[in-house]
Structure 1
Amino acid sequence: MKLFRLMSQIHLWLGAAFGVQVMLWLISGLIMVIIPIEVIRGEHLRHDPAESVLDWTNEAVPLATIIAAQDGEVTSARTGWLAGSPVWRLETTDGPLMIDARTGDDLSPVGEALAREIATTRQNGLGEITAIDWLTDPPREAGLSIPAWRIEFAAGETTPPTTFYINSQTGELRAVRTSAWRVYDFFWGVHIMDWSSRENFNSWWIKMTSIIAILFGIAGVYLTVHRLWIMARRRRPK
């Protein structure tokens, strides 16, 4: 009986602790599936800019000339468009570079005027730009570990206040963030039990909860078997 009472207490308290986390999993999971992931990522708030037709063999500066003008070794090159203008995108031993295909001007790192133009051409239905900031150490929500531009848009007629993060080296619109994304991100951290980086699936919190769940299950199995055994003894004919 002492073991039974001990297992009952263990089952009770572990159930309370584990039950709280189960509820958090259910609530956070519900929050994450209510809003489509495309809305969370802000895909409806941005679009790909229209690209003009360019004869890269005649109108653009020859790639050989572009490569010869670089100090570092060019490992790869491809064509692209940035804020409606054609560019050569180079990968070099010194890092990525963007070169204006018509003039040969170096566009890296992206300046404020170009960052504003990129954001303006990529936004879809947003309000006016209310702030533009150069970040040497972008926040986690930017998804960048290099300097970036943060551009704040006011709410549009049907769109929320929105933040754009632009990669300073490549001009890429790296992230679109809204309050919906931040709410989702918070509950994602709750769901995987990582409240700081929100990326660690192997935290001690997860391990501890798993151990609690196993002990809870073991205690439950013992109590069930014990009760069935008691019931079987009571029904046994004397």
Structure 2
Amino acid sequence: MKTFRLMSQIHLWLGAAFGVQVMLWLISGLAMVLIPIESIRGEHLRSDEPTPAIDWADRALPLAEIIDGQSLTVLSARTGMLADTPVWRLETPAGPVMVDAIAGQSLTPVSEALATQIALSRQIGLGEIVSVTSLDSPPREAGLSVPAWRIEFAAGETTPPTTFYINSRTGELRAVRTAAWRIYDIFWGIHIMDWSSRENFNSWWIKVTSIIAILFGLTGVYLTVHRLWMMARRRKAERLGGGGS
């Protein structure tokens, strides 16, 4: 009986500790499935990236001339578009370099004017631009480890205030962030038990909670087996007692 009481107390306290996290998992999981992930990512607030035009080759400078004008070794080159400008994306040991395919001038790093033009060409239904900020160290929500432009849009008629993050090296629209995404991000951190980077699925919190869950399950199995065994003994005793009378 002492072992049974001890297991009952352990099971109770483990259940209290584990139950709180289970509720957090359920609440955060529900919050994350209420809105489609495409809406959270703001895919409805941006247009697709423009495909490279195929009719500017006769107006463009020869690729060999553009490569010769670079101070870095060019490893590869491919066509692209920045806003309405045809470009060559040159891969170099120091990272990508964007070059205007017609004028031949380097577009890396992307200027404020070009970043604004890119943002305006990619937005759908957003309000006016209220701020444009150059970031040497973008925040985690930007998903970038290189300098970036943060462009803030006011709310449109049917769209919320929105933030665009544009890679200052390539002009890529890297992320679209709204209040919905930031709320989702909080719930995501709660769900995976990583409240800082929101990326670590192997934190000590997860490990400790997993151990608690296993112990909770094992004590529950012990208590169930013990109760079934006691019930079986009681019924057997009742049958024997009834047979004796």
Helix, strand or coil at the partner of 2:117: helix
Please say which of residues 177-186 and 50-59 is displaced more in the overlay.
Answer: 50-59
Paired letter, 1:57: A
TM-score by length of 2: 0.95
Helix, strand or coil at the partner of 2:75: strand
Report the Cα distance in structure 2 between the residues aligned to 1:50 and 1:4, rounded to whole angstroms.
68
Helix, strand or coil at the partner of 1:195: coil
Q: Which residue of 1 aligns with 2:30?
A: 30
Residue 92 of structure 1 pairs with residue 92 of structure 2 = yes
TM-score by length of 1: 0.97
- Note the C-alpha offset of 1:95: 1.5
Q: Which residue of 1 aligns with 2:202?
A: 202
Question: In the TM superposition, what are the counterparts of 1:153-164 in structure 2 within 5 Å?
Answer: 153-164=153-164
Helix, strand or coil at the partner of 1:208: helix
Query: Larger C-alpha radius of gyration, 1 or 2?
Result: 2
Paired letter, 1:196: S
Report the Cα distance in structure 2 between the residues aligned to 1:149 and 1:203, rounded to whole angstroms.
32
Please report the RMSD computed on the Cα atoms of aligned residues, expressed in angstroms: 1.2
Structure 1 residues 110, 222: closer, same or farther in 2, change over 3 A? same
- Note the C-alpha offset of 1:55: 2.9
Q: Which residue of 2 aligns with 1:45?
A: 45
Q: Which residue of 2 aligns with 1:18?
A: 18
- Note the C-alpha offset of 1:56: 4.0
Count of aligned positions = 238
Structure 1, gaps ≥5 residues long: none
Report the Cα distance in structure 2 between the residues aligned to 1:45 and 1:9, rounded to whole angstroms.
53
Q: Which residue of 1 aligns with 2:133?
A: 133
Question: In the TM superposition, what are the counterparts of 1:90-169 in structure 2 within 5 Å?
Answer: 90-169=90-169
Contact 1:51 1:84 in 2 (8 A): no
Report the Cα distance in structure 2 between the residues aligned to 1:16 and 1:139, rounded to whole angstroms.
36
Contact 1:164 1:176 in 2 (8 A): yes
Please say which of residues 92-101 and 140-149 is displaced more in the overlay.
Answer: 92-101
- Note the C-alpha offset of 1:176: 0.1
Moved over 6 A (4+): none
- Note the C-alpha offset of 1:50: 5.6
Q: Which residue of 1 aligns with 2:212?
A: 212
Helix, strand or coil at the partner of 1:80: strand
Q: Which residue of 2 aligns with 1:190?
A: 190
Quote the sequence identity (%): 75
Report the Cα distance in structure 1 between the residues aligned to 2:202 and 2:126, rounded to whole angstroms.
39
Contact 1:52 1:84 in 2 (8 A): no
Structure 2, gaps ≥5 residues long: none
